[in-house]
Amino acid sequence: MEIFLCDLDDTICNEHSFKKMISTETILFRLISLEFEERGGCHIPLSVDWKCLWKMASQQGVSAICLDGLQILDKGTGCLTMIPKPLKMQWIVSVVKQEKAYDGQWYAARDLADLYCKHGIDTYVLKGFSLSRLYPRPEHRPCSDMDCYLKDKYYDGNRIARENGLTVDCSYYKHSKVLLRGLTVENHQFLLPIKGSGKAKRFERELRSWIDNGRNEYIGDSQLKATSPFFDAVYVLAHAQEHFLNEGIILRHICDWAMVLKAHRDIVDWNEWKRVCEVYGMLAFGYAMSRLASRICGVSVPFDCPTDDEADRRLLDDTLYRKNESNGNRSDMQVRIDLVKNMLRNNWKYRLFSDTNPLMFCGRRVWGYLFDKDVD
């Protein structure tokens, strides 16, 4: 058998990695693209390093959708029989565990939204849990927690949760943490870390104005409210950029963005989206994410996107080959110190993908935590 290569080219692969692209990364990308059903299938070569493929898919948060792709291909090629049986069972079991975890998270989130609804509070769902609804199988988009926004009912939400026996941690100004049957719910007072930045506060106000745009859409059979397509197109990108600059992203973030492009391509005013992204220093990152979403996932980009091979290569290399550092048993202070060190090491990220630099960014954060009491 031979693999049908996607339209990825060596301009976005570093010299070290390109030798392995045929056997691992390209196959991973092709399996991911089957989730989007926008281009033809692929064949699997006999020489696949299945263990390496599964490991990379797991690290990148896409093991379940890659298994979906393999099951699609299996109907015509029998490719699942090529995977060593112990590894195949390990892969399947890990996906089943993810599905069960998602189901538990869903019912816990639904119950919390029902509780808030009884008190007249709308529960808007943010980030991963909200994005999962765009996937063909929502349970195959892993979620570590649920993020919600209650508009001006943040304090009421915390109080109601406590009154109903739930643990609520309010130690961080941006959001509280509500624990419900193993699910951590981040109840956002603010959508962004705004301390120390007037620009972030302006962005926060704009995001709040876009959150529903007069829509009244619920997710599934629940009181969990969906955010507007324009809000998704801006906020998902802003969240991914923050992750990328501070730590790094994984392929799951690119898949999320591809799903936004696919689901909202005919709904969002992309010229207005460009204006907002340019004002808030996200346009270069948005362009690069869109190019990679097209090349990896096969989605069409609904706006003109200038080429930048260096940006694409650096973003993809960091996504695939960055060394992940687990927080482990480190204290919160040590995590923050390591975060600052990481930002200073990766000055190129700010040069290519933002309108600031790590020194200014860290300076604003420190000043904000020490002196900025105006977070309204």
pLDDT given for residue 339 in this prediction: 67
pLDDT tens readout for residues 326-345: 555 666 666 667 766 776 77
> Which distant-in-sequence residues (6+ apart) come within 8 Å of 168 by Cβ?
158, 161, 162, 176, 177, 178, 179
| Buried-exposed string 259-293: b where 16+ CB fall within 10 A, e elsewhere | bbbbbbbeebebeebbebbeebbbbbbbbbbbbbb
Give this prediction's pTM. Answer: 0.89
Least-confidence region, from 162-176, 234-248, 265-279, 355-369: 355-369
Q: What is the mean pLDDT of residues 196-214?
A: 91
Q: What is the DSSP letter of 82?
A: G
Cα–Cα dist 183/225, whole Å: 18
Out of 3.40.50.300, 3.40.50.970, 3.30.460.40, 1.10.3720.10, the CATH code matching 102-201+214-227 is 3.30.460.40
Most confident of 132-146, 321-335, 361-375: 132-146
Distance of alpha carbon 117 from the chain centroid: 27
Taking Cα atoms as reference points, which of 7, 76, 11, 90 lies closest to residue 44? 76
User: Does the structure show a pLDDT above 50 at 6?
Assistant: no
Cα–Cα dist 239/249, whole Å: 10
pLDDT tens readout for residues 27-83: 999 999 999 875 555 667 767 899 999 999 999 999 999 999 999 888 877 888 899
Mean pLDDT of the chain: 87
Domain boundaries, the chain: 1-83, 102-201+214-227
Neighbours of 312 (CB within 10 A): 21
Cα–Cα dist 361/370, whole Å: 15
Q: What is the mean pLDDT of residues 246-264?
A: 96
